[in-house]
Structure 1
Amino acid sequence: MERKKAIEVQNVAKSFGSFQALKGVSFDIYDNEFFTMLGPSGCGKTTLLRMIAGFESPTSGTIRLHGRDILDQPPHKRRVNTVFQSYALFPHMTLEANIAFALENLGWENARIRDRVAQMLDLVHMTPFARRRPAQLSGGQRQRIALARALASEPEVLLLDEPLSALDLKLRQAMRDELRALQRATGITFIFVTHDQEEALDMSDRICVLGAGEVQQIGAPNEIYEDPENRFVADFIGETNFLPAEVVSVEGDRATVTTPLGPVTTWHKGAVAGAPAMLSLRPEKIGMEDQAPGEALHGTITGRNYMGGYTHYTVTVNGTELRVSKRNAVSHGASLAVGAPVQLAFRPDSARVLAR
């Protein structure tokens, strides 16, 4: 069954003077999807979000909402609401008045407004705080009210512009769960903008990685992480070791390359026989022991960073530095010291050959 498209972005470009923020971007976002636009500062993700909201106009291209071209519609005519990083709540109003404000402007009847406000407060677990003002709330509580207000008018699409970036780590993690639960409960399409890869991987149905004003890759979180299309995506999503490689042969979707660690045969993206390439190998894909059987790689630990759940090691193998992540599975377990000899091993299929 074909999925219904909520948003269609077709060949959208945006220039600010001589600077081209977006370069002919195209993709579809589906109904009831948690879709994330992820990328570094200046990649064009917020500009694109603002164009969907109606706060910016593209230099060229088309944006459709459920099949309707919306570029000529002002923001208040689009059934699209935005949640901002700053919450944008009215400080002099109670929480229930903040939620009711937009519904009053839409001309809803008083009884319907009261019912909807009560429903929204219950949805975000804020009913006991209905008569408080924003200044009497924590950051996470203010964020919940901003979400309730944005959802109250039953938008077709909800836009979220880095809404968690002002929160502390623990609260950010809790709000990720709440956002995902809200999206599932309402069935509304969420379009989330962030530069935080962990947020994107945790919450999204699909991720659009943007870089230099272009779409680098679109896919489910595991696809983006495990099968990056290019070096930009592999480098931006998570951490990886890049090893220079020379492509010996290509057979279908697999390539054999020579690397400083020896020959490797694995999956590739765009490799060409005889051409230089890059081998991407995630730190957690590398096994490390002080004694390892078989044809292991022999190296020396030259750096160590304890991170709680993991310890990150730097290991030098034949002059090549590798980043290796080892899970701390046992409390107070012995960790390997800097200067210790170790043996490394990895499954070839856990690496990816990327064209340079």
Structure 2
Amino acid sequence: MDRNSPHRQGKAVEIKGVSKVFGTFQALKPVTFDIYENEFFTLLGPSGCGKTTLLRMIAGFEQPTTGEIALRGANIQGLPPHRRRVNTVFQSYALFPHMTLEQNIAFGLENLGWEKQRREARVADMLRLVHMEKFAARKPQQLSGGQRQRIALARALAPEPEVLLLDEPLSALDLKLRQAMRDELRTLQRQTGITFVFVTHDQEEALDMSDHICVLGDGEIQQLGTPAEIYEEPSNRFVADFIGETNFLDAEVMAVEGERATVKVSLGMTLNAPQKKAETGRSAVMSIRPEKISIPAQDGQISMEGTIVGVNYLGGYTYYMVETGKTKLRVSLRNSVSRSGMFEVGQPIEVGFAADSARVLGA
């Protein structure tokens, strides 16, 4: 399924009022949402937010305190992990060190009672799928981290699960390899048509690969939507702060008109911008992403005078810290024409942004 397609297939997983309590600690408050067939779905959030707990409940390694989990419409409550049509890829890969790669992939199929000819054909197919045919006779310790990751994926996909669960599988890899594996994971999901449920705390991974993202924080759902919706239209301050970078400005809500609010912000101006949960007469914050701010200001933008007080060059982008009165703004500009156009510390400039690029977020 194309991540931009408005058409969604049947429900692969249904989470209905599921919560989890360990002793006196509530790891997950009741949550309800659906994961659709043939989509790449991501559970995203900081450590301790409940995302891995939720994944383990889908897998059957933990049981919900309340609620119900259904797989393709069938309640799987109480079913042990081996009787659920789901497989899990762990952060540690969990490969058997004494077995060859072929034997690792075949292990689960043997336990399922697949006959030899069918099993060997499936192992060969999986090795081709992850481009590891030449390494079939090797053992895991003879492989790089990325190669072990591929075999872990091949082993999990071999029994043709209805849902594949991935518990932060890229976190142990270096940056370059992690970026390459993101592309491979997305390609595998498209090729197999299997629903992937991916757990990560890495916002960039989630935005890059997902059809839909469920942002978890403090044990509850903060927002569920497409990557573009999560990034461009955060539902609250937690989401705006956790996903990417943003500038927060104190705001006083003067009036709310439907999906927009008129606010007075700490930059010393009044403007009308899109809003979420803002209330007239109440305090709020306005969020504006660094890349939404221009230097110099463009025609039609809200503009203000400022001074460059910090410069961070990051190759493709340069980040500027701009002081405007008592407020500092972080601005991101793409380096499209060499370094000759860069601004310098102490340089007076004019910055600007469109009101529609800002978001007013209530309590």
| TM-score, normalised via structure 2 length | 0.96
1:158 aligns with 2:158: no
2:259 to 253, 256, 266: 253
Shift of 1:293: 6.7
Matched, 1:341 2:348: yes
What root-mean-square deviation, in Å, do the aligned CA atoms of Structure 1 and Structure 2 show? Answer: 1.2
Q: Does residue 67 in structure 1 map to residue 40 in structure 2?
A: no
Alignment check: 8 A CA contact 2:8 2:36 kept: no
Specify the SS of the correspondent of 1:43: coil
Q: Which has the higher mean CA deviation after the structures are superposed, 155-164 or 313-322? A: 313-322
Q: CA deviation at 1:274?
A: 1.1
In structure 2, the partner of 1:284 is: 291
Aligned residues: 355
Corresponding position of 2:3: none
Cα distance, 1:3 vs. partner?
A: 3.0
Query: Hey, what does 2:313 align to over in structure 1?
Result: 306
The yes-or-no answer on 1:176 pairing with 2:182 is yes
Deviation digits for residues 199-253 of structure 1 (CA, Å, limit 9, x no counterpart): 0000000000000000000000000000000000000000000101011111111
**Displaced runs of 4+ in structure 1, greater than 4 A?**
291-295
Task: Please say which of residues 13-22 and 160-169 is displaced more in the overlay.
Answer: 13-22
Alignment-derived partner of residue 209 in structure 1: 215
Q: Is the 8 A contact 2:63 2:78 kept in 1?
A: no
Per-residue Cα deviation, 1:306-335 (whole angstroms, up to 9, x for no partner): 111111111111110111111111123232
Q: Which moved more, 1:233-242 or 1:245-254?
A: 245-254
- 2:234, 2:299 → 1: CA distance? 31
Structure 2 spans left out of the alignment, 5+ residues: 1-6
Instruction: State the 1:116 CA deviation.
Output: 0.2
For residue 88 of structure 1, report the CA deviation from its aligned partner.
0.5
Partners of 1:100 and 1:79 in 2: how far apart?
17
Counterpart amino acid of residue 280 in structure 1:
S
Q: What is the alpha-carbon distance in structure 2 between the residues aligned to residue 121 and residue 183 of structure 1?
A: 16
5+ residue gaps, structure 1: none
SS at match of 1:296: strand
Which residue number corresponds to residue 321 of structure 1?
328
The one-letter amino acid of 1:284's match is E
Distance 1:195 1:175 in 2: 16
User: Is 1:115 paired with 2:121?
Assistant: yes
Aligned partner of 1:145 in structure 2 is: 151
Equivalent AA in structure 2 for residue 146 of structure 1: A
Tell whether the 8 Å contact from 2:9 to 2:38 is kept in structure 1 after alignment: no
| Contact 1:302–1:313 (Cα < 8 Å) also in 2 | yes
Change (3 A) 1:293 1:32: closer
SS of corresponding position for 1:20: strand
1:121 Cα offset (Å): 0.4
In structure 1, give the amino acid aligned to 2:40. F
Q: CA deviation at 1:292?
A: 6.6
| Separation (CA, whole Å) in 1 of partners of 2:176 and 2:240 | 27
Residues in 1 aligned to 2:108 and 2:298: alpha-carbon distance in whole angstroms:
64
Match of 1:263 in 2: 270
Contact 1:159 1:191 in 2 (8 A): yes
TM-score, normalised via structure 1 length = 0.98
- Residue of structure 2 equivalent to 1:35: 41
> What is the letter of the counterpart of residue 46 of structure 1?
T
SS in structure 1 at match of 2:171: coil
Q: Counterpart in 2 of 1:53?
A: 59
Q: Distance in 1 between matches of 2:197 and 2:344?
A: 45
Indicate if the aligned counterparts of 2:12 and 2:35 stay in contact, CA closer than 8 A: yes
Range that drifts further, 189-198 or 254-263? 254-263
Alpha-carbon distance between aligned partners in 2 of 1:58 and 1:296, rounded to the nearest angstrom: 52
Residues 292 and 343 in structure 1, CA contact (< 8 A), matched pair in contact too = no
**CA-to-partner distance for each residue in 1:116-154, whole Å, 9 max, x for gaps?**
000000000111111111111110010000000000000
Any conservation in 2 of the 1:268–1:353 contact (CA below 8 Å)?
Answer: yes
